Amino acid sequence: MKPIQKILTDLVQHIENEEPIHKHEYSYDRMDWVKNNLSKQDDLYDIGLENLRVLIYQLSLFNQHILTDENGKEINKKPRRNNEE
């Protein structure tokens, strides 16, 4: 078991190492993407850090996580201000 402080330190370092991208690139269901794209070669700890990074960015950019139903339609979608889309 990793100490929470180690995970948070790794997460901050992961965020600092990422190149900035456009807001629209965060407008997707991260958990659904992982379920559909995870391979046996992936490092699950690194995937976990990336999941947390994307979810934090979604909260910052959209004030919510992006979640979709089985048809790919966003659920619980809140109206976004012009500067959030």
**Reported confidence tier of residue 77, pLDDT bands at 50, 70, 90:** confident
**58/65 Cα distance (integer angstroms):** 6
Cβ contacts of 78 within 8 Å, gap of 6 or more = 62, 63, 64
Show the tokens assigned to 61. Answer: 């950019």
Per-residue pLDDT at 83:
53
What's at 70, amino acid-wise?
Answer: E
Instruction: Indicate if the pLDDT at residue 63 is higher than 90.
Output: yes
Instruction: Indicate if the pLDDT at residue 62 is higher than 70.
Output: yes
Instruction: Indicate if the pLDDT at residue 79 is higher than 70.
Output: no
Across residues 19-45, what is the average pLDDT? 93
Return mean pLDDT, the chain.
90
- The model's pTM: 0.83
* Domain ranges, ordered by start, for the chain: 4-84
Show the tokens assigned to 2. Answer: 């990793």
